[in-house]
Amino acid sequence: MQSHALSLQTNGSPTNDSKVITIGVSGPSSGGKTTTSRYLRSILPNSTLIHQDDFYLPEDQLPLDPKTGLANWDCPEAIDFTTMINTLTFVKEKGYFPAEFDSLEDKNPVGSNTSSTPIPDQVLKEMRDQIMSQISSDVDRTNLKFVILDGFLLYVNEQLRNTIDIKFFLTAPYQILKERRESRAGYATLEGYWIDPPGYFDDIVWPNYKACNEPFVKLTEAMEAGEETGVYNKESPRSEPMTQGVDIISSGSGSIYAMVKTVSNLLGERLSDLTRLPASLS
């Protein structure tokens, strides 16, 4: 199934009748968020994908980890949140990307959690039909555009968090995340190519994930003890602002299909709720 990118990728005339819905897919490194986000781009009509990794600072401006002396790609200070927020705001208002925007991350392969047997086109079509059928009949679906945000720190910044209409947090147990991350060949960067040094997951990735996403870590500890996909939906009681309105999904040792199917089902419900709220798409 071909992806359904926004018809105006980098420039064009404003489309005042268009309504842009933003969907956040966050979680730890190797938790399945990029794979799931790319499937959502294939599922949703008139959609596009923004990767938070496209907003890293240049490598020579990254903070250094005081313990190892290595560049720290996994802390909030490594991200240019101002440019990311401005880009997202522009897309929401105009319906297309700024002319200077180019995705480096979209050229990276997804991690080893990608299934060796991709989800069939017919199954993706069924997911699309299920999602779109739940949008209010009062909404002109032809004018809807979907912007999917993929990033490991989408909810730590309040201003960015408040621009996202529907929020997901995808995770998995520590050992699974570690195995996936360490099986990756590396990442394309502005300067070239980054390969994790030995021990990088335990020294940098995991401690930063726990520190930056502590409210999510606390909520997912019980879920991650299981082997199957589990959901802690956004209606569940919680006190931390960072986790408010976020559907939390742990894949356990399950397949990427199970994760995508769970997100797809929840997305249909959230779009149903969103498109029935007064002035929610004004």
Q: Please, are residues 25 and 170 in contact by the beta-carbon 8 Å criterion? A: yes
User: Domain limits of the chain?
Assistant: 19-274
Domain boundaries 19-274, CATH class = alpha beta
Residue 12 is predicted with a pLDDT of 47
**pLDDT > 60? residue 113:** no
Q: From 31, 89, 59, select the one nearest 216 (Cα to Cα).
A: 31
pLDDT tens, 12-57?
A: 444 456 789 999 999 999 999 999 999 999 999 999 899 999 999 9
Q: Please, are residues 193 and 212 in contact by the beta-carbon 8 Å criterion? A: no
**pLDDT > 60? residue 265:** yes
**pLDDT > 70? residue 114:** no
Q: How far apart are CA 179 and CA 125, in angstroms?
A: 31
**Rounded to the nearest 10 degrees, how much is the dihedral formed by the CA atoms of 7, 127, 41, 106?**
-150
Q: Please, are residues 39 and 124 in contact by the beta-carbon 8 Å criterion? A: yes
Q: Is 209 helix (H, G, I), strand (E, B) or coil?
A: helix
Residue 275 is predicted with a pLDDT of 86
Kindly indicate the confidence band of residue 2, based on its pLDDT and cuts at 50, 70 and 90.
very low
Dihedral (CA of 233, 238, 243, 249) sign:
negative
Q: How far apart are CA 207 and CA 28, in angstroms?
A: 11
- Amino acid identity, residue 1? M
Residues taking part in catalysis:
53
Strands (E), the chain: 19-26, 47-51, 144-151, 166-171, 187-188, 193-194, 230-232, 246-250
Q: Which of 23-27, 80-84, 134-138, 268-272 has the lowest mean pLDDT?
A: 134-138
**pLDDT > 50? residue 82:** yes
